[in-house]
Amino acid sequence: MGRKRKGDPVHGWVVVDKPTGAGSTPAVNRVRRFFNAQKAGHAGTLDPFASGVLPIALGEATKTMAFVMDSTKSYEFTVAWGARTDTLDNEGEVVETAAARPSSAEIEAALPNFLGAIEQIPPAYSAIKIDGQRAYDMARRGEEPEMQARTVEVLDLRLLDCPDADHARFSLSCGKGTYVRSLGRDLAAALGTVGHLCQLRRTRVGPFGEAQGHPLNDFSLEDGEESAHKAARERSLLPLQASLDGIPAIALSDMEAMRLRNGQAVSLLRKLDLERVRNIDQGSTALATCAEKALALVRFEKGALHPVRVFNL
């Protein structure tokens, strides 16, 4: 018999508006303790110097984290021209300087070169593993990790304003694996100077945006009554399927649901089933529900629904 997890069976999503200075893992632990949840995880690390949207999955919602992590992300960031740091942000040591300052017209002219699929070298101070070691651990020891270029996708990149000659603010929409710090470095190089990020805010991760975010300080067990804590839990907890808005759903009967829970496929070959699956492509993933509750992630293949991840709700 497996060891019983400590805590309560809490399932769903919480969107934290992470402040600067806080780490992603401590934020997850704080939310998990607040809900007394058995299990928790976040859908994409946000650097301590950055702020913004940090989606946290509780319980069975952790089974859907991949859908959020693979989704489009949006940011607002500020580049400080004239100095490059070893971390490519304002927490590092300056390693190179330059006198050149790009004009807004020069910046606008350079942006199209950073749209679409682009090659990008991740920062040395990143969590990427090299021969089993984190790159940032190697960099902190004074080593120079060999970072390999990777292809990332930039969907939208716009200049918002130039507060002064030393700074420029941007908005960004990008795919999985894009490093905003590297983008700032490469943009500066294309403009004939150097630079680093002095501000970074994530405004959206897939279906989760700033409007759904709650300050990290809201998740405190200090002071206040249990009734207030309960109200805060109910206010901030989103349903498991909130992360699955982008995939089709199909409602199943109790008998069909039982088959899925037992790891068996559900056949949908009858004529009356055609309408039920008309929005589901062969080989694609769908959300199976029963009595309006999330049941399982399924794959539709050869006229049947095959269980991929069953939710124990």
User: What string of DSSP letters covers 220-243?
Assistant: --SSS-HHHHHHHHHHHPBPGGGG
Rounded distance between C-alpha atoms, residue 107 and residue 68, angstroms: 31
Residue 171, beta-bridge partner list = 76, 158
Task: Decide: 179 and 77 in contact? Cβ < 8 Å.
Answer: no
Confirm if 186 and 170 have CB atoms less than 8 A apart: no
How many whole angstroms separate alpha carbon 172 and alpha carbon 5?
40
Task: State whether the Cα torsion 203-208-214-220 is positive or negative.
Answer: negative
Q: Is 83 within 8 Å of 167 (Cβ atoms)?
A: no
Of the residues 8, 17, 47, 281, which is catalytic? 47
d(CA 134, CA 125): 9
Residues paired with 172 in a beta bridge: 75, 157
Show Cβ contacts of residue 81 under 8 Å, excluding neighbours closer than 6 positions: 98, 100, 101, 102, 165, 166, 167, 168, 188, 191, 193, 194, 195
- CA dist., res. 185 & res. 190, Å (int): 9
Under 8 Å between Cβ of 233 and 59: no
Active site residue 47: yes
Please report, to the nearest 10 degrees, the dihedral formed by the alpha carbons of residues 257, 258, 262, 266 taken in order. Answer: -50
Contacting residues for 261 by C-beta, under 8 A, at least 6 apart? 295, 296, 310
**Which residue numbers are catalytic?**
47
